[in-house]
Amino acid sequence: MNQTIHPTARIDPWKAAPEVFKAALALENAVRSFGIEPKLLELIKLRASQINQCAHCMNIHFNDAVKAGESVQRLNLLPVWREASDLYTAAERAVLQWTEALTNLPGRQVADEDLAEIKKHFSDAELARITLAVATINAWNRFGTAFRPAIAAV
């Protein structure tokens, strides 16, 4: 009997290649060890996940942000943070712009203005750590959008 696979069926990459999950988790654990303020880290993760349209990661990071003490209002307005800029500090706005610049990177360079703005608020070491946090969530988003894991109800 010939078995038909639904066209939206996906694999579980972590079961298919556990070493991939182990490597991704090691990178995630490194980012978490950097001392980036938890609410700021979740804003980074949620904003990149929104841009990448990774529903699985958006769900995780919205809930993690609330657990870290972030307000639902700020999370709901995150996609339009420029229009609601009074809700976010200057440092948060710089990080959100940096996150967007790095997430929307294909085919362009990060603007000098974006670098100058974020450097007003963070040291070079902090900027390197924030950049790795953005890169890491973008990697997770690639797995989430490629394989569409189920979204857990809260």
Using one digit for the tens of pLDDT, what is the confidence trace for 34-79? Answer: 999 999 999 999 999 999 999 989 999 999 999 999 999 999 999 9
pLDDT at residue 6, as a whole number: 39
Q: Is 99 exposed, middle or buried (0-12, 13-18, 19+ CB in 10 A)?
A: buried
Of 104, 102, 105, 108, residue with least CA distance to 127 = 102
**What integer pLDDT is reported at residue 153 of this predicted model?**
62
Which domains can be identified in the chain, with CATH numbers? 36-140 (1.20.1290.10)
Residue 83 has pLDDT above 70, yes or no: yes
Would you say residue 2 has pLDDT above 70?
A: no
Q: Residue 69: what pLDDT?
A: 97
96-121 residue pLDDT tens: 999 999 999 877 889 999 999 999 99
| Predicted pLDDT of residue 31 | 97
Residue 9's pLDDT band, with cuts at 50, 70 and 90, is: low
- What are the backbone angles phi and psi of residue 17, rounded to the nearest 5°? -145, 80
Phi, psi of 10 (to 5 degrees): -130, 165
Is there a contact between 95 and 63 (Cβ–Cβ < 8 Å)?
no
Question: Given this model, what pLDDT does residue 122 score?
Answer: 98
* Length in residues, the chain: 154
Alpha-carbon dihedral sign for residues 28, 30, 33, 37: negative
CA distance linking residue 116 with residue 137, whole number of Å:
23
Question: Average pLDDT over the chain, rounded to whole?
Answer: 91
